[in-house]
Amino acid sequence: MPDYALPYQDDLGFTNILMSGLGGDGANMAAKLLFKIAVEKLNLDGGYDAKYGSEKTGTPTDVSIRLCPLGTPVRESGPTRRPHMLSVFRDKLIASQGLNRGLQASTTVMVNTSRSPAEIRELLKLHSGRILTLDATRIALETKSRMNMPMLAILCAQLGFPAEVVKAAIAAQWPRAQAANLAAFDQAVGQATSATFEPDAAYPLVEPTTITSPIGFANMLNGGAIDALTHLNIPAPDAEPLGRVPVFTLELCSHCGLCLVPCPEPGAIVWNDKKMVAINPVYCKGCMQCVEICPTTKRGKALVEPELAVV
């Protein structure tokens, strides 16, 4: 059993880790393997608590991992409120999920992004700590692994888990994807960019979330009804795109309307005056069915798949 000490300890002896991702990103799987390594190889205790487990693809979700020396009573459950370590699978979640809440001083933050650590600090309004950024999406694509692999690699490295122990566990967990996963692991550790930010009063520590909203028991409509005219789900025009958006070339479009047929997203295909005019990236989820159905003519094809892009 290697000698190992956790990098952080709260007053109960725990290192608290929050992973934030979207349904389908594999955050739960990463947490599961991390905890398995902690228990089976490093003789630690703790737990991991998933938010749900059968999320729709693309729905924000999180998983909390608590690690402590064996013998420490494990009593809390649910999401950790005061993470020492934060792993963000998509940088757009930083704002939408309010990920800076409850972060401790000298946090370790790991983000899948093409942004720099300094940019992430601004986005996160981080009090202090170390930010590591890596392009996990690209690494996953290049190595034919999954995004959770580089994210797991970087987290294990920051936890100080011995690399050979982690790699052996990954290999054992997915024997068939071994080579791809280990390649992703190595790339992640090698390619992460990091910077450390001292507490310089730029941003204060933020208290954990207290759940509340403008509508409460005093102004809720009878039976919890929703006024559709004030609360219809209409995203802001400048909201973050949800996925890979097909490339539309107006000049090549015959306005046949076929793309409307398989599209499951009301509002994604924008139609005006009997003409297809655009794909609205705030509605489109990138399923590419419209690309599949869009006819190819002599002149070409109005809808094509975009280059692989990091979202």
Partner 1 sequence: MLEQRTIISSGNEAAAHAIIDIGYDGEGYYPITPSSEVGEYVNRAHAQGEIDLSFVVGTSELAAISTVAGMAIAGGRAVDVTSSQGLLLKAEELPALAGLGLPVVLNLATRDINAPLNIKNGHSDLAATLGWGWLTFLAPTVQAVYDLNIIALKIAEAVNLPALIAYDGFHTSHANRRIKVFEDRQVVRNFVGPEPPPRLSILDVRHPHTFGPYMNDDLINTKVLLDQKMDQALRLLPKIFDDYARMSGRRYGFLDVYGDADAEAALLVLNSAAEAAKVAVDRLRREGKRVKVVSPTVLRPWPSDTLLQALFTADRIMVAERVSQYGAGNYLANEIGAVLQRSGNNNLILSRTYGIGGLNFYPEDADYLFRLALNFPNVPDHEKRWKGYYQAWAGEKDYQPQPVATALTKEETTRNDGKEKIDLKELAEMPHRIAKHASCPGCSTFANLDMFLRGIDGHVVLFFNTGCGMVVTTGYPSTSFRVPYFHNLFHNASSTATGVMEMYRRFRRQGKLNDEITFIVVTGDGGDDIGMDQVIGAALRNDPIIVLEYDNKGYMNTGGQLCYTGLLGQRFTNANVGPHQRGKPQHHKDIVEILRGTHAPYLFQAGVANYRDLIAKARKAQKMVREGNFVFGRFFSPCPLNWGADPKVGFRIVDKAVKSCLFPLYEVEHGKTKLNYNPERAGLKIPVKELFTSMGSAFAHLAGEQFADVAAEIQKEVDRRWKRLVEMDANPAL
By CB under 6 A, the residues from 44 to 63 that bind ligand SF4 are 56
**Residues 292 to 311 in contact with ligand SF4, rule: CB under 6 A:** 294-295, 302-303
Work out how close the CB of 261 gets to ligand SF4 at its nearest, in angstroms, rounded to a whole number. 8
Work out how close the CB of 301 gets to partner 1 at its nearest, in angstroms, rounded to a whole number. 15
Task: Select the binding partner of residue 218 from partner 1, ligand SF4, none (C-beta < 5 to 8 A, by kind).
Answer: partner 1
Q: Name beta bridge partners: 275.
A: 272
Interface pattern 268-287 for ligand SF4 (x via CB under 6 A):
xx------x--x----xxxx
Phi-psi region of 288 (alpha: psi -120 to 50; beta: other; left: phi over 0): left
**Contact with ligand SF4 (CB under 6 A): which of 96, 114, 209, 254?**
254
> Among all chains, which residue has been given the structure tokens 């398995």?
36
b/e burial code for range 242-268 (CB count within 10 A of at least 16 → b): bbbbbebeeeebeeeebbeeebebeeb
C-beta of 55 vs 91, nearer to partner 1: 55
Q: Compute the residue count for the chain.
A: 311
C-beta of 177 vs 270, nearer to ligand SF4: 270
Task: Select the binding partner of residue 212 from partner 1, ligand SF4, none (C-beta < 5 to 8 A, by kind).
Answer: partner 1
- C-alpha distances in angstroms, 7 versus 4, 127, 188, 283? 9, 18, 20, 42
Work out how close the CB of 309 gets to ligand SF4 at its nearest, in angstroms, rounded to a whole number. 13
23 binds ligand SF4 (CB under 6 A): no
Query: Cα(184)–Cα(192) distance, rounded to whole angstroms?
Result: 12
Query: Of 14, 144, 136, 140, which is closest to residue 87 (Cα–Cα)?
Result: 136
Contacts of 223-226 with CB under 8 Å at 24 or more apart are none
**Contact with ligand SF4 (CB under 6 A): which of 229, 257, 267, 310?**
257
Phi-psi region of 24 (alpha: psi -120 to 50; beta: other; left: phi over 0): left
**Contact with ligand SF4 (CB under 6 A): which of 171, 189, 256, 304?**
256
Q: Which residues bind ligand SF4 (CB under 6 A)?
A: 56, 246, 253-259, 262-263, 265, 268-269, 276, 279, 284-290, 294-295, 302-303
